[in-house]
């Protein structure tokens, strides 16, 4: 019986020693897990901030592109108007030139009739 009691006492001592070691180990792992969780939260917050800044930058870029597109559209309309006005002016000048040639031919015919007596 004594040996059985001694064996139980030794087993109990070993179990208590393992329990103490496990408790110390658990506390250190708990601290480590807390540190890992804090680091994870910091990384998540950093990623969220980066996403927010990227979204703001993308919105600014989109607005800039929209403004550039609008300005290009206005410039294209203005260029089209200038080209149209240039074509109209060229057409008017061509008509004036044709009329002047026609009037010159008419005047030459009239002058030839007066001179030549046709």
pLDDT tens-digit profile of 2-30? 888 888 888 989 998 888 888 878 888 88
Taking the C-alpha atoms of residue 19 and residue 109, their distance in angstroms, rounded to an integer, is 131
Taking the C-alpha atoms of residue 91 and residue 98, their distance in angstroms, rounded to an integer, is 10
pLDDT tens-digit profile of 56-78? 999 999 999 999 999 999 999 99
Count the Cβ atoms, other than its own, within 10 Å of residue 96: 10
């Amino acid at each position: 019986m004594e040996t059985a009691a001694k064996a139980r006492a030794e087993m109990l001592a070993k179990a208590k020693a393992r329990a103490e070691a496990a408790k110390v180990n658990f506390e250190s792992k708990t601290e480590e897990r807390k540190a890992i969780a804090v680091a994870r939260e910091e990384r998540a917050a950093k990623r969220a901030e980066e996403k927010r800044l990227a979204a703001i930058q993308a919105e600014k870029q989109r607005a800039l592109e929209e403004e550039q597109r609008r300005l290009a559209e206005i410039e294209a309309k203005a260029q089209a108007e200038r080209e149209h006005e240039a074509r109209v002016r060229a057409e008017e000048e061509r008509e004036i030139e044709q009329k002047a040639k026609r009037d010159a031919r008419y005047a030459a015919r009239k002058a030839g009739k007066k001179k030549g007596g046709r």
